[in-house]
Structure 1
Amino acid sequence: MFSEFTSLVKSNFKHTSIFYFCSILLFLNITSNCKAQLTAEWASVPIGIGNNYGYTISVDDFGNSYIAGTFTNDNLDFGNGVILSDSYMDKHDIFVAKYNNSGEAQWAKTFNTNTSTYFNDLIIKATPEGEVYIAGSYTNTEIDFGNEAIIQNDSDSEDIFLVKYNTDGETQWARSIGNSDTDKPKSLAIDSYGNIYIAGYYSSPYIFWGIIKGSLGPFYNKEVYLPIYTYNKGESDMFLAKYNRFGNLKWAKSFGDTGNDVASSLAFDVNGNLYLAGKSDGDFLIPGMETGDTYLIQFDDKGQINWLKGFAASFSKISISAKENIYLAGSYYNNSINFGNGVSLPESDIYQTQTCIVKFNNIGEAQWANKIDCIVEDAWSGNENTGASIALDNFEIIYI
């Protein structure tokens, strides 16, 4: 019987470096069935006797890779003398590790908690210089990230944590976001100034984000300190918040109606515009939108909406090219979809969820759309097709 452990593999495909981070069983399945010619440069397997899972990966401009996941071992050996120890009572503790461009482990970290808790929804994002942000959700515990960065959640519901490490793995700061109900992060993005943007959803009645410096207007020539709250209008609302590189809140926004509204993915273009893809149960922004439809929104750096689009599909991931083209990956059922600007997908004769891709320019005009028809046996058991992730290379070739 195979025990699960983690594999990190880097391969060259044409002009693009592709990173896979998954269990070794899934990796073997990919390599045995993939028709493209991939040449592995290196592989690294953190060794432990428990259940170890790698969930998220990011790369800096120097080719260093940063990974995050969970482990239940007494020890987790990343090689090169980098070892983590003492997962709490066989619960899934988080690990964060850095590998250099040659696949050698540089450091690894875990978090100290005072209870046996579960961590979920892990996201990692590295800056070009190698600073690292990690977000996730946690319950009913205090987390000590080291370097006097301690956060607390006293409830049984999930709150959000956001923590920053420098390139040497030293904790810089940590923040806790949430209230009395389930609150989750879904995406991180970093602008050219090192500000971090976090998006997700919250089911709590409200979130107190903190205190920021502000002004009462042009006729009151004094700085004041303003509390920042967002209020939930339904079952869950999507949120978008900005922190500077020192962990200071700059602003927070909330969008939603009476149903479930979720922010799924964030990305920046080269001009500093921020794009958010999300799903909604209501038509609070665009009249006529229905349950599960997708929003694509462009924001400026102050969180103001420049433009938005809506369509009847479920898009979860977004990628922006150097030419400011916007690509969305996701899925739709057998309905036809009109993206505007003469671009549409026809009604499918396959009554299963299908993967689809759509391209927009930077003013929100659809350029083209395509779908990948694939019949899945026993689709009612949850075996469906969806574009779970998307990436672009320097030649604007799409990888999905």
Structure 2
Amino acid sequence: MKVPSLRPHKFLKQIQKILLLLCWVGICSIQAQNYEWAHGIGGTDFDAANDVAVDASGNVYVVGNFRSTNVDFNPSAGNTANLTADVIDVFIAKYTKNGDYLWAHKIGGANTDDGLNIAVDANGNVYITGAFSGTVDFDPSAGGVANLNDGDGTGFFAKYDTNGNYVWAHNIGTSSKGIAVDASNNVYVIGDFFGTLDFDPSTTNTANLTASSIDIFFAKYDTDGNYMWAHKIGGSGFDFKNGNSIVVDGSGNVYITGNFRGANVDFDPSAGSTANLSSNGDADAFFAKYDSNGNYLWAHKIGGTAYDGGVVITVDGSSNVYIIGAFTSSNVDFDPSAGGTANLSSNGNLDIFFAKYDSNGNYVWAHSIGGTNKDSGRGMTVDGSGNVYITGYFQGFDVDFDPSAGGTALLSANRSTSSSIYVAKYNSNGEYIWAYEIGGDDSNNGAGIVLDGQENIVFTGYFSEDNADFDPSAGGTTPLSNQGQYDIFIAKYCQSAPSGAGSITSSATTVCQSQTGVTYTVPAIANATGYTWTLPAGASIVAGANTNSITVDFSDAAVSGNVTVSGTNACGNGTTSTAVVVTVNPLPASAGSITSSVTTVCQNQTGVTYTVPAIANATGYTWTLPTGANIVVGANTNSITVDFTAASSGNVTVKGTNACGDGAISAALAVAISTSIAPAVSLTSDTNNNEIVQSTKVTFTATPSNTGTAPTYQWQIDGANIAGATNDTYVTSTLKNGETVSVIVTASEPCVTTPTASASLSMKVVSLPDQPFNLTGVSTLNEVVLSWQTTGTGNEAGFHILRSIDDSSNFVNIVTLGADIRTYTDIGQSPNTQLYYKVVAFNIAGETESAIFSFLLTGTNEELTNVYPNPFSNTFSVTLGPLFQDKVNVRLLNLQGQLIKDFGLLDTDALSQKLFDASTISSGIYILELVTNKHRVTVRVFKK
């Protein structure tokens, strides 16, 4: 509670204030209000708020007047919403429940205009009333025009939507002071007028009322401003009546208050009926009730011989009636019943009164508050429990706001002539609960007060003190600075801590890391102006912070935990809700580095493996591969086998997956697809046509192509690996004839059509030819037929026939024969010649010689030997010459010396008697050979 500053020279009042402080800080059981926010709005001139209203969402609407230029209606730091008055203009403004600026408009012309009262319907539409002069545009929008002219009355009432957009505006009365709306959004207006005025704003109808002097009017219009009814309250004399306030109960009954002076003022507007009341002196207060059609139900006056007036009237849920005002008379009876007496007397100049009556106007209680100076009631409201809240101003010292006998609740202004704002609360029985001085003690006034849906107090008025403190708490200081003469203030206070939070509902209690848009909602908490949520670590509110419904995003590091909420307001925190357990399932961890079974991939290669370390929290794996590559084994695992079929180069990546989504993707592993090539090798030797002499050292060289930079080699002989022969050359001197030397090259190039290539050389290895042997010869007249033999290895390149005719040393090569010839006929030799022969076999390796064969050529036997018949058909016979004395071997040879038929070894005697059968041989020319141990005779024969 704010404690008024103590005066050292007023000791008694110091003691009183200390006692009051002790009461406020807890020694007395007194409910308190807590400061939420307050704003000062104004310029260098006179600016004042007259009334305040709230809507169902707690938004705050204020109406009043201002004279200053560049009045900033946006109280937030760094923002402006300036309005400038022409002379004195009306303002209406809207703020959130937290006091944040929404919009503000001015309404005014070249004269004096004033906004006096405000109401808000269930849809947030705004209704204001007041007075104006001249021509005024009631449409504040840019370019909008909705002019009213005071020739039709200087009172007005107007409607705007919840965004401040103009709906309609009408003239009404001379001055319109009070406005109210019912549950159907019908509009009720009260004020005063004189002369004859039309209360039907339509252009086609009239609803004239005529005042004899200054009379009261009250009227009803539908939500579109269409006329329903209007009544006046007045008398016949020259007097005055003021209608100040109007309210409607849940049944549509209408209650009004104000003051009147005069005799026989008729409060029953119906024709033919009267309900006259007469003032006791100057002006008396009145309050009256009418049904929803404006029919009179009852009316009462309150007053003495001096001035007394009702300022505000309100009702509670049971239609009990509450009024507040000011009076100066003594012994004013607040009980209007016959015989009832509830006298109150003013203590001085002007005192506050507030009173309660039941729905029928019967007295319940009444209280006065005041000192010796001026004190007035300007605003009043009632909560759902019937507690009464009042505001206004007071002057002087030690004004007791506790009306109970013996009770004391003193408030003091610092100067007897200054006015301070008060706010006070009483229970439904009128018993004191608390009271505060607000805003300092210069010229200050509380003008309007209202409760929102959480029974937070919002009130308004004006203040003129610099550094005015609007925080009533002990030690609290929330000063507002006055900008000039009078400034507008709007302030809000809470009374009760929020209720306990209900059960939280959620769109998901099992969520994933990185999940967004999860909502948590708790039913609206009574009295809460804000909401404090606790969330699991890593969760953050992205929408709805400080409200009862939040949207939460969970980061990729969020963990499981609890969600709770409690309501907050300036009075404290409510009970925290039961925790909602939220299970946060993790996303897969980031993928590590991919490894591969190969560094280069070949077109159409199969069986390539890619592996990533197991990813924490992953239940699956998503791989991306180059176009044309396909997983053949291990899909959705951390190790895959891939075939590349007509693939293109590209990247391999992987990420872990689970029900919550995907983890961070791995770094890309670049894959370059290479076209497969065919490996080859050529094999050469340092020989001539791959032919060598036995034991010659040979170097073989392998020349590979398309086998990469580091191929390997394996040499073979006849298909068998040669140990240690693994270079690109092979050297040997141990080759044998006909052996095949091969090399197998294994490519280091990965992209080959086959991993190996081979080449071979078949080698001819030549040794010295075999030595001819068994060289023999026979003669026929002048020729010698030689024959010889070899071992049959076939390694001869040919034969040289060497002959000597004088001795055995001077041999001359008489002919060179091919390798397949084993006989030779040496012709043209003279008889009786001694001849020497030898046969030399040769090849590239060298030569070998036969033994020397000597022969004496005589010619006798050839001449005396005869074959008959010759030519022969199948058989023939032989006649030998005289030299054949021994046994004779008879053979038939072809012209190449090859044996065709051996007739055997025969005695010479038997030979002459024998018929030789050659029927099985083919036709042709043959050599018939007859050989003894000394002679050899050959005869050319012909087979037919």
**TM class, shorter-length:** 0.7 to 0.9
SS in 2 for 1:264: strand
Residue by residue, what CA displacement relative to the aligned partner does 1:63-88 show, whole Å, maximum 9, x if unpaired? Answer: 11111223333352414856133321
CA distance in 1 between partners of 2:298 and 2:496 (Å): 36
* Residues 173 and 81 of structure 1: CA distance in aligned 2, closer, same or farther (over 3 Å): farther
Q: Is the 8 A contact 2:240 2:260 kept in 1?
A: yes
CA distance in 2 between partners of 1:74 and 1:11 (Å): 27
Q: Is the 8 A contact 1:270 1:322 kept in 2?
A: no
Q: Is the 8 A contact 1:82 1:108 kept in 2?
A: no
Q: 1:170 aligns with which of 272, 279, 295?
A: 295
CA distance in 2 between partners of 1:140 and 1:315 (Å): 30
Question: What TM-score does the superposition give when structure 2 sets the normalisation length?
Answer: 0.34
Partner of 1:72: 194
Worse-matched range after superposition: 28-37 or 339-348: 28-37
Q: Is the 8 A contact 1:257 1:281 kept in 2?
A: yes
CA distance in 1 between partners of 2:257 and 2:183 (Å): 21
Q: Per chain length, whose mean CA-contact separation is higher, i.e. which structure has more relative contact order (CA < 8 Å, sep 6+)?
A: 1
Q: Is the 8 A contact 1:82 1:105 kept in 2?
A: no
Equivalent runs, 1:102-113 vs 2, <5 Å: 102-113=224-235
SS in 2 for 1:31: coil
CA distance in 2 between partners of 1:11 and 1:132 (Å): 15
Residue by residue, what CA displacement relative to the aligned partner does 1:287-342 show, whole Å, maximum 9, x if unpaired? Answer: 54334112211111111011121222432211111111101212222432332336
Q: Is the 8 A contact 1:121 1:184 kept in 2?
A: no
Give the number of aligned pairs: 346
Q: 1:205 aligns with which of 321, 330, 334?
A: 330
CA distance in 1 between partners of 2:395 and 2:119 (Å): 40
SS in 2 for 1:271: coil
* Residues 211 and 23 of structure 1: CA distance in aligned 2, closer, same or farther (over 3 Å): closer
The reply on whether 1:325 has 2:462 as its aligned counterpart is no
Partner of 2:399: 284
Question: Could you tell me which amino acid in structure 2 is paired with residue 332 of structure 1?
Answer: F
The alignment's C-alpha RMSD in Å is 3.6
* Residues 292 and 115 of structure 1: CA distance in aligned 2, closer, same or farther (over 3 Å): same
Q: 1:85 aligns with which of 187, 204, 209?
A: 209
Q: Is the 8 A contact 2:139 2:166 kept in 1?
A: no
* Residues 270 and 330 of structure 1: CA distance in aligned 2, closer, same or farther (over 3 Å): same
SS in 1 for 2:385: coil
Question: Could you tell me which amino acid in structure 2 is paired with residue 253 of structure 1?
Answer: H
* Residues 76 and 230 of structure 1: CA distance in aligned 2, closer, same or farther (over 3 Å): same
Question: Could you tell me which amino acid in structure 1 is paired with residue 125 of structure 2?
Answer: S
CA distance in 2 between partners of 1:13 and 1:106 (Å): 18
Equivalent runs, 1:213-362 vs 2, <5 Å: 227-282=341-396, 283-285=398-400, 286-290=410-414, 291-311=418-438, 312=440, 313-338=444-469, 339-341=471-473, 343-346=476-479, 348=481, 350-362=483-495
User: Once the two structures are aligned, what percentage of the paired residues are identical?
Assistant: 23
CA distance in 2 between partners of 1:108 and 1:13 (Å): 21
CA distance in 1 between partners of 2:266 and 2:295 (Å): 13
SS in 2 for 1:315: strand
Q: CA deviation at 1:180?
A: 0.7
The reply on whether 1:126 has 2:234 as its aligned counterpart is no
Q: Is the 8 A contact 2:467 2:482 kept in 1?
A: no
CA distance in 2 between partners of 1:81 and 1:349 (Å): 48
CA distance in 1 between partners of 2:482 and 2:365 (Å): 46
Q: CA deviation at 1:198?
A: 0.7
Worse-matched range after superposition: 64-73 or 165-174: 64-73
CA distance in 2 between partners of 1:161 and 1:253 (Å): 16
CA distance in 2 between partners of 1:123 and 1:336 (Å): 33
Q: Is the 8 A contact 1:71 1:94 kept in 2?
A: yes
Worse-matched range after superposition: 142-151 or 34-43: 34-43
Residue by residue, what CA displacement relative to the aligned partner does 1:357-387 show, whole Å, maximum 9, x if unpaired? Answer: 22111269xx99xxxxxxxxxxxxxxxxxxx
Question: Could you tell me which amino acid in structure 2 is paired with residue 150 of structure 1?
Answer: N
Partner of 1:142: 264
Partner of 2:669: none
CA distance in 1 between partners of 2:193 and 2:445 (Å): 32
Q: CA deviation at 1:165?
A: 0.8
* Residues 139 and 11 of structure 1: CA distance in aligned 2, closer, same or farther (over 3 Å): closer
* Residues 334 and 12 of structure 1: CA distance in aligned 2, closer, same or farther (over 3 Å): closer
5+ residue gaps, structure 1: 214-224, 369-400
Question: Could you tell me which amino acid in structure 2 is paired with residue 304 of structure 1?
Answer: E
Q: Is the 8 A contact 2:191 2:243 kept in 1?
A: no
CA distance in 2 between partners of 1:70 and 1:102 (Å): 23
* Residues 326 and 148 of structure 1: CA distance in aligned 2, closer, same or farther (over 3 Å): same
* Residues 344 and 4 of structure 1: CA distance in aligned 2, closer, same or farther (over 3 Å): closer
CA distance in 1 between partners of 2:384 and 2:307 (Å): 34
Q: CA deviation at 1:21?
A: 2.5
Q: CA deviation at 1:130?
A: 1.4
Q: Is the 8 A contact 1:22 1:54 kept in 2?
A: yes
The reply on whether 1:152 has 2:278 as its aligned counterpart is yes
Residue by residue, what CA displacement relative to the aligned partner does 1:126-173 show, whole Å, maximum 9, x if unpaired? Answer: 113211111111112321122442211253x11112111100110001
Question: Could you tell me which amino acid in structure 2 is paired with residue 192 of structure 1?
Answer: G
CA distance in 1 between partners of 2:299 and 2:119 (Å): 34
Question: Could you tell me which amino acid in structure 2 is paired with residue 243 of structure 1?
Answer: Y
Partner of 1:195: 320
Question: Could you tell me which amino acid in structure 2 is paired with residue 353 of structure 1?
Answer: Y
Question: What TM-score does the superposition give when structure 1 sets the normalisation length?
Answer: 0.76
CA distance in 2 between partners of 1:11 and 1:281 (Å): 30
Q: Is the 8 A contact 1:11 1:39 kept in 2?
A: no
Q: 1:63 aligns with which of 181, 185, 188?
A: 185
Q: CA deviation at 1:102?
A: 3.0
